[in-house]
Amino acid sequence: MRFQITIEVWKKGKWFIAKASELDFVSQGKTFEEAKRNLLEVVKIQFREMGTLEEYLSECGFEIKDDKLIPYTEMIGFEKLEVSAI
């Protein structure tokens, strides 16, 4: 089964943090690419070890139709805004 995920990468000090929000998986690395590679490895390992993949994916907001993973939600954009705490 193949499907798309959105990978967010954040810089925190000297580390890069990669997150697959749809699956609630997180990893880190010393570079942008290393964090992304580590996250993809986490995804592979988790899916290999899960006995009830369909239940987990359903909890994460996916539906399986014709061996295709359909997300219930989709990120369509994001913005960085400056807000006042007052």
Strand pairing class (25-29; 15-20): antiparallel
The neighbour count for residue 48, using CB atoms within 10 Å, is 8
Q: What's the confidence (pLDDT) of residue 80? A: 81
Q: What's the confidence (pLDDT) of residue 2? A: 67
Task: Please state the pTM of the whole predicted model.
Answer: 0.65
Task: Please check the confidence at residue 19 and state whether its pLDDT lies above 80.
Answer: yes
pLDDT digits over 32-83, tens only?
Answer: 999 999 999 998 888 777 766 777 777 777 888 887 878 887 778 878 888 8
Domains of the chain in start order, with CATH, are 7-71 (3.30.160)
